[in-house]
Amino acid sequence: KEEVKETKEEVKETKEEVKETKEEVKETKEEAPSEKELSKLTKVQLVEFAEKNNLKIKKSAKKASIIDEINSQLK
């Protein structure tokens, strides 16, 4: 019975973590920088921004393409 109790606790914690993550994603999308703000960043900074926000981009792409990728995924 104790194992079941622990598993239920773990499920509860996981659900809370998922909820928090969803809220963080929502906040990140709301705080999405404009294209103008993104264009002020270097390519390296754009790649770091994409990685931090779990966005999929081609690191080998040109800066303008990376900005387009980021914008399309944040909308």
**pLDDT of the chain, 75 residues: tens digit per residue:** 677 778 888 888 888 888 888 777 766 655 678 889 999 999 999 999 999 889 999 999 999 999 999 999 987
pTM above 0.85, yes or no: no
Instruction: Report the residue count for the chain.
Output: 75
Report domain extents, the chain.
1-31, 33-75
DSSP annotation of 55 reads: -
Give the number of other Cβ atoms within 10 Å of residue 32's Cβ: 15
